[in-house]
């Protein structure tokens, strides 16, 4: 309801005016009466009415002087209607100069008064909408000025007026982070959700009985699509602050698939020190992965903890992960990844160290793709994985993202290997035929042809119905037999010439294939001559 004050030195005139029209039907309520201008000024200062309906001729201070004085005192938001028995043009001129909304002559026509009130009501509505729009435009820059420490006295005053925040209360900054949004989500959908979350957060703060009442709805600041910030007033003890953080997390987590995290700054005395709380909330965020099991992190609880570690993942874990990738072993990849994520938590990896470890995995995987002459730009999960910090991730969300990326890489590598294998297996056999006498192995040949050693072994067996090592041994033994028949070389010389570093081992392998030693084989040939 809009507030109205009636001013007239005649009590019966005031009572008659109060009963002349159904004020409430038109959105107005008579909240006070005054018998002269001086008394009216006191009421205006105390009640801040929207409309004052006043006579002109009154003792002590007449209506026009009262209006002039009201404007000088800064009561410019109040609208005035003059009711007078004088139709003098001089009075009307003065009324216009003072910004009076209407000048009605006695006896009052109720329909004229209603029409005047309706016009004022519509104007008040427009003014309110304009003021709210202006406040909405000012709030983001005002909020940023407060938390950045750039706020001057006028911003502090604006904070008191626009945001309804007393300057002398304690404040805590709450950063609400929305984790694990779908990688393919568009900006419009993210903004819609952020708007829904902002309204839910405002309701959660409003419903918190422990907080002091503030004018208007709590302001929730959009730092970006995935982070919202609040300055919450009141001398809130740490446990109460954490309870509010949990309430905010529940409000923010109503969206499907979203994992909210709330980082609470230390209490700061007054708006002027709001930045202190903001910075401590950002410091609290650094414990995000070390305390991945907690939804709400309070600065007081992490303040004395050891700082996050700047270290690398263990080489064995990294090697195991890439080996699982090359072998397309989902269980091995998941196991190695889980060990890496456990290290993030247990060894208190700093966010920068986590980012470096993730980058190392991504670049290691894509290096394998490129080595096999693949194009990593074809990986659909590549951009989302590289840009994972642009869309906040919990440890569980990061795991899902990396597993999806590794699975796609493994599938792509497998298809590349199959493609390479179909065209190159004959080349590989020809290479073995030419180089069997050298120190070759399945692993060295796999590296030469950009293939996984396990896969190459399987492909060779499938194509030639013999295992790689057996085939190489056959070639070496056949060549050794030729030299035993056609040359006078010593056994150790023949062993070295066909790829055996150890003569005794050569003899053992020869005997296993031919059922006799090299010497016995040579002697048997000699006896037949």
Output the domain CATH number for residue 512. Answer: 1.10.10.60
At what angle are helices 63-72 and 37-47 packed, to 10 degrees?
40
Confidence of residue 216 (pLDDT cuts 50, 70, 90): very low
Angle at 482 between CA 481 and CA 485, to 5 degrees: 85
Question: Does 89 lie in the same domain as 40?
Answer: yes
Are 402 and 358 spatial neighbours (Cβ–Cβ below 8 Å)?
yes
- The domain total for the chain is 4
Angle at 458 between CA 452 and CA 461, to 5 degrees: 135
Q: What is the pLDDT of residues 477-528, one digit of tens each?
A: 999 999 999 999 999 999 999 999 999 999 999 999 999 999 999 988 887 6
Say if 136 falls within a structural domain. Answer: no
Rounded distance between C-alpha atoms, residue 515 and residue 522, angstroms: 13
Which tokens go with 242? 């954490």
Say if 144 falls within a structural domain. Answer: no
* Residue 148: predicted pLDDT: 80
Burial of 505 (0-12, 13-18, 19+ CB in 10 A): exposed
Which tokens go with 494? 């023949």
Say if 65 falls within a structural domain. Answer: yes
Question: Does 478 lie in the same domain as 459?
Answer: yes
Q: How many CB atoms lie within 10 A of CB 303?
A: 11
Say if 453 falls within a structural domain. Answer: yes
**Confidence check: pLDDT of 254 > 90:** no
Closest CA to 228 of 267, 256, 202: 202
Of the segments 141-145, 208-212, 213-217, 219-223, which one has the largest average pLDDT value? 219-223
Burial of 203 (0-12, 13-18, 19+ CB in 10 A): middle
Which of 62, 95, 127 is a domain's end point?
127
* Residue 39: predicted pLDDT: 93
Which of 302, 328, 344 is a domain's end point?
302
Instruction: Classify 86 as helix, strand or coil.
Output: coil
Question: Does 46 lie in the same domain as 118?
Answer: yes
Question: Does 424 lie in the same domain as 410?
Answer: no
Question: Does 284 lie in the same domain as 175?
Answer: yes
How much of the chain, in percent, has pLDDT values that exceed 90? 49
Tell me which of 96-110, 337-351, 485-499 is least confident: 96-110
Which long-range contacts does 117-123 make (Cβ < 8 Å, 24+ apart)? 117/21, 117/23, 117/26, 117/28, 117/51, 117/81, 118/26, 120/50, 120/51, 120/79, 120/81, 121/2, 121/26, 121/27, 121/28, 123/79
Helices (H), 288-350: 299-302, 315-326, 330-346
Q: How many CB atoms lie within 10 A of CB 207?
A: 10
Confidence of residue 119 (pLDDT cuts 50, 70, 90): very high
Say if 198 falls within a structural domain. Answer: yes
When comparing pLDDT for 487 and 257, which is higher? 487
Instruction: Report, as an integer, the average pLDDT of 372-401.
Output: 90
Confidence of residue 211 (pLDDT cuts 50, 70, 90): low
Question: Does 425 lie in the same domain as 413?
Answer: no
**Confidence check: pLDDT of 417 > 60:** yes
Rounded distance between C-alpha atoms, residue 469 and residue 272, angstroms: 77
Question: Does 425 lie in the same domain as 412?
Answer: no
Question: Does 154 lie in the same domain as 286?
Answer: yes
When comparing pLDDT for 327 and 320, which is higher? 320
Output the domain CATH number for residue 223. Answer: 3.30.70.270
How big is the chain, counted in residues?
A: 529
Tell me which of 162-171, 315-324, 349-358 is least confident: 162-171
Instruction: Report, as an integer, the average pLDDT of 216-231.
Output: 83
Instruction: Report, as an integer, the average pLDDT of 215-238.
Output: 81
DSSP letter at 260? E
Are 496 and 438 spatial neighbours (Cβ–Cβ below 8 Å)?
no
Tell me which of 256-265, 368-377, 399-408, 463-472 is least confident: 368-377
Question: Does 476 lie in the same domain as 404?
Answer: no
Instruction: Report, as an integer, the average pLDDT of 162-179.
Output: 82
Question: Does 434 lie in the same domain as 380?
Answer: no
Question: Does 448 lie in the same domain as 367?
Answer: no
Beta bridge partners of 51: 4, 79
Torsion of CA 440, 446, 448, 451, to 10 degrees: 180
Beta bridge partners of 171: 233, 268
Which of 389, 418, 447 is a domain's end point?
418
Confidence of residue 253 (pLDDT cuts 50, 70, 90): confident
Instruction: Classify 425 as helix, strand or coil.
Output: helix
Question: Does 297 lie in the same domain as 170?
Answer: yes
Say if 39 falls within a structural domain. Answer: yes
* Residue 217: predicted pLDDT: 57
**Confidence check: pLDDT of 241 > 60:** yes
pTM: 0.64
Mean model confidence pLDDT for the chain: 87
Of the segments 82-86, 273-277, 279-283, which one has the largest average pLDDT value? 279-283
Instruction: Report, as an integer, the average pLDDT of 77-96.
Output: 74
When comparing pLDDT for 283 and 57, which is higher? 283
* Residue 215: predicted pLDDT: 42
How much of the chain, in percent, has pLDDT values that exceed 70? 90
Q: Is the dihedral of CA 106, 109, 112, 114 positive or negative?
A: positive
Which tokens go with 176? 């609400």
Residue 130 has, within 13 A of its CA and on its CB side, a CA count of 6
When comparing pLDDT for 181 and 336, which is higher? 336
Rounded distance between C-alpha atoms, residue 447 and residue 454, angstroms: 11
**Confidence check: pLDDT of 140 > 90:** no
Non-local CB neighbours of 375 within 8 Å, separated by 6+ positions = 369
Say if 310 falls within a structural domain. Answer: no
Rounded distance between C-alpha atoms, residue 349 and residue 352, angstroms: 8
* Residue 308: predicted pLDDT: 62
Q: What is the 3-state secondary structure (H, E, C) of 315-329?
A: HHHHHHHHHHHHCCC
Residue 404 has, within 13 A of its CA and on its CB side, a CA count of 17
Which tokens go with 321? 């992960």
Say if 141 falls within a structural domain. Answer: no
How far is residue 107 CA from its own chain's centroid? Answer: 66
* Residue 93: predicted pLDDT: 66
Are 220 and 228 spatial neighbours (Cβ–Cβ below 8 Å)?
yes
**Parent domain of 353:** 315-418
Confidence of residue 163 (pLDDT cuts 50, 70, 90): low
* Residue 87: predicted pLDDT: 61
* Residue 164: predicted pLDDT: 65
C-alpha distances in Å from residue 12, one per residue of 19, 94, 117, 301: 11, 27, 21, 68
């Amino acid at each position: 309801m809009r507030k109205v004050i009636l001013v007239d030195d005649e009590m019966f005139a005031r009572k008659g005016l109060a009963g002349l029209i159904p004020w409430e039907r038109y959105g107005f309520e008579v909240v006070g009466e005054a018998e002269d201008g001086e008394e009216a000024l006191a009421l205006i200062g105390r009640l801040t009415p929207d409309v004052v309906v006043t006579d002109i001729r009154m003792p002590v201070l007449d209506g026009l002087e009262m209006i002039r004085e009201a404007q000088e005192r800064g009561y410019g938001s109040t609208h005035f209607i003059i009711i007078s028995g004088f139709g003098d043009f001089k009075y009307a001129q003065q009324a216009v100069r003072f910004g009076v909304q209407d000048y009605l002559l006695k006896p009052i026509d109720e329909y004229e008064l209603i029409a005047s009130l309706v016009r004022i009501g519509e104007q008040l509505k427009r003014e309110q909408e304009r003021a709210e729009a202006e406040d909405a435009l000012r709030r983001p820059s005002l909020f940023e000025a407060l938390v950045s420490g750039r706020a001057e006295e006028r911003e502090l005053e604006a904070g008191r007026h626009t945001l309804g925040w007393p300057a002398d209360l304690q404040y805590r900054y709450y950063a609400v982070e929305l984790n694990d949004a779908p990688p393919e989500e568009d900006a419009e959908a993210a903004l819609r959700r952020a708007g829904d979350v902002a309204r839910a957060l405002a309701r959660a703060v409003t419903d918190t009985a422990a907080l002091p009442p503030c004018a208007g709805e709590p302001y929730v600041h959009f730092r970006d699509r995935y982070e919202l910030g609040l300055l919450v007033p009141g001398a809130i003890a740490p446990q109460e602050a954490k309870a509010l953080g949990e309430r905010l997390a529940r409000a923010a987590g109503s969206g499907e698939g979203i994992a909210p995290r709330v980082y609470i700054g230390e209490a700061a005395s007054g708006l002027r020190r709001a930045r202190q709380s903001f910075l401590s909330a950002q410091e609290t965020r650094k414990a995000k992965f070390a305390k991945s099991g907690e939804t709400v992190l309070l600065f007081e609880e992490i303040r004395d903890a050891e700082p996050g570690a700047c270290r690398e993942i263990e080489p064995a874990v990294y090697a195991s992960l890439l080996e699982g990738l090359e072998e397309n072993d989902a269980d091995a990849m998941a196991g190695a990844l889980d060990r890496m994520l456990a290290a993030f938590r247990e060894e208190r990896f700093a966010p920068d160290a986590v980012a470096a470890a993730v980058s190392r995995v991504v670049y290691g995987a894509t290096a394998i793709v490129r080595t096999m002459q693949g194009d990593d730009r074809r990986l659909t999960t590549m951009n989302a994985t590289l840009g994972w910090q642009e869309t906040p991730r919990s440890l569980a969300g990061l795991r899902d993202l990396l597993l999806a990326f590794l699975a796609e890489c493994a599938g792509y590598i497998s298809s590349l290997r199959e493609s390479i294998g179909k065209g190159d297996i004959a080349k590989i056999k020809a290479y073995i035929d030419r180089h069997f006498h050298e120190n070759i192995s399945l692993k060295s040949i796999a590296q030469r042809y950009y293939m996984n050693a396990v896969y190459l072994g399987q492909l060779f067996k499938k194509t030639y119905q013999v295992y790689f090592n057996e085939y190489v041994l056959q070639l070496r033994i056949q060549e050794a037999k030729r030299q035993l028949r056609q040359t006078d070389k010593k056994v150790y010389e023949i062993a070295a010439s066909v790829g055996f570093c150890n003569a005794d081992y050569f003899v053992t392998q020869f005997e296993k294939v031919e059922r006799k030693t090299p010497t016995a084989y040579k002697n048997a040939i000699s006896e037949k001559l």
